[in-house]
Amino acid sequence: GNSVTQMEGPVTLSEEAFLTINCTYTATGYPSLFWYVQYPGEGLQLLLKATKADDKGSNKGFEATYRKETTSFHLEKGSVQVSDSAVYFCALKGFQKLVFGTGTRLLVSP
Amino acid sequence: KAGVTQTPRYLIKTRGQQVTLSCSPISGHRSVSWYQQTPGQGLQFLFEYFSETQRNKGNFPGRFSGRQFSNSRSEMNVSTLELGDSALYLCASSLVNARVTNTGELFFGEGSRLTVL
């Protein structure tokens, strides 16, 4: 079945550092890919998405490119802020339900 | 536009009891999905409803059930609670039509945190 694998956290960075959170997937067909973010005490919010190979999703300075050849959808940001501290979930949507990775906690210190 | 509203936000139950959680989707959203979030298992899909019909179901025992009303509001029920049912239960709504299960663009509520003692 469809599955998503994310890097283990927590990822600890200083403010203005470069961020990469790795995500790889296993799926049949051509899934859509997503990054969701969960801030403390809140539900998940859609951060960005890509629906086909080579698409780049972007939002709030975050980017991820749908790489079919490496089955990856890594999340990047050039300069993180303390307010980016949250849990980030990679997800894929095949024919039916949305499947989430286990989440990666990001901690950004001043 | 109001977001997804879940009630109650927090509740404590004891083993063997049952619980009902409620979810009001964003106005105009007809699809409602439920997820269980735990530190060990992450986000696990429970079920999805569209126009009062369950369209998808995850791998949970029959103690977990749900329903959707004509106004798209949804409830989920867990009977005979076990300690392992302690979790954050998240509801999400989606703007879809009858032909598309969902687009993957879900709008989540803040969740109902259930503690089973």
At residue A83, the 3 state secondary structure works out as helix
Check: CB of residue B66 under 8 Å from CB of residue B77: yes
Nearest to A44 among B103, B104, B108 (CB): B108
Chain B residues lying within 8 Å of A42, measured CB to CB: 110
Q: Mutation test of the interface with chain A: which of B6, B55, B108, choosing the one with the most A Cβ atoms within 10 A?
A: B108
Query: Which chain B residue lies closest to A87 (C-alpha atoms)?
Result: B42
Q: What percent of chain A has pLDDT over 90?
A: 82
Q: Do A99 and B105 touch (CB under 8 A)?
A: no
Burial status of residue A4 (CB atoms within 10 A of its CB: 0-12, 13-18, 19 or more)? buried
pLDDT digits (tens, 9 = 90+) for B15-63: 999 999 999 999 999 999 999 999 888 899 999 999 899 988 999 999 9
Which residues of A fall below an 8 Å CB-CB distance to B? Answer: 32, 34, 41-46, 49, 89, 91-93, 95-103
Residues near A69 by Cβ (< 8 Å), separated by ≥ 6? none
| Closest CA–CA distance from residue B107 to any residue of chain A (Å) | 7
Backbone φ, ψ for residue A18 (5° rounding): -85, 140
Is the pLDDT reported for residue A77 higher than 80? yes
